[in-house]
Amino acid sequence: MAIRERDPHTGHMTIGHEWNGITELNRPVPTPVWWFLGAAALFSVVFWVLMPAWPLGDTYTRGLLGVDQRTTVVQKLAEAEQQQAGWRRRIAAADFAEIEADEALMRVVRGAGSALFGDNCSACHGAAGRGGPGYPSLVDDAWLWGGAPESIAETLRVGVNAPHPDTRVSEMPAFGHDQILDREAILQVAAYVRSLAEPVSAAASHSQAVAAGKEIFAANCAACHGDNGQGNSDAGAPNLSDSFWLYGGDPQTVFRTIFYGRKGHMPAWEHRLAELERKILALYIRDLRSWPEGARR
Ligand code: HEC
Ligand code: HEC
> What is the structure's pLDDT at 46?
95
Band (pLDDT 50/70/90 cuts) for residue 2 is low
Q: Report the alpha-carbon distance of residue 71 to residue 280 in Å, rounded.
A: 33
Rounded mean pLDDT of 268-287?
96
Ligand nearest to the CA of 235: 2
* Contact in structure between 143 and 235 (CB atoms under 8 Å): no
Q: In the predicted model, what is the mean pLDDT of the chain?
A: 91
**Residue 92 confidence (pLDDT) above 60:** yes
Q: What is the pLDDT of residues 99-139, one digit of tens each?
A: 999 999 999 999 999 999 999 999 999 988 999 999 999 99
Q: Which atom of ligand 1 is nearest to the CA of 170?
A: 18
* pLDDT value of residue 202: 53
Least trusted range by pLDDT, from 6-15, 125-134, 142-151, 182-191: 6-15
Chain centroid to CA 150? 20
The answer to whether 273 and 119 have CB atoms below 8 angstroms apart is no
Report the distance separating Cα 36 and Cα 242, nearest Å: 79
Mutate to test the pocket of ligand 1, among 245, 246, 266 (most ligand atoms within 8 A of CB): 266
Between the CA of 52 and the centroid of ligand 2 the distance, in Å, is 73
pLDDT for res 69: 85
220 C-beta closer than 6 A to ligand 2: yes
At residue 224, the pLDDT reads 96
CA distance 3 to 17: 7
Task: Report which protein residue has its CA nearest ligand 1's atom 7.
Answer: 266
Instruction: Kindly state if the Cβ of 128 falls inside 6 Å of ligand 2.
Output: no
Question: How many whole angstroms from 22 Cα to the centroid of ligand 2?
Answer: 97
CA–centroid distance, residue 100 to ligand 2 (Å): 33
Torsion over CA: 21, 25, 26, 31 (sign): negative
> In ligand 1, which atom is closest to the CA atom of 284?
35
Q: What is the mean pLDDT of residues 72-101?
A: 91
pLDDT digits (tens, 9 = 90+) for 182-240: 999 999 999 999 999 886 665 566 788 899 999 999 999 999 999 999 999 999 999 99
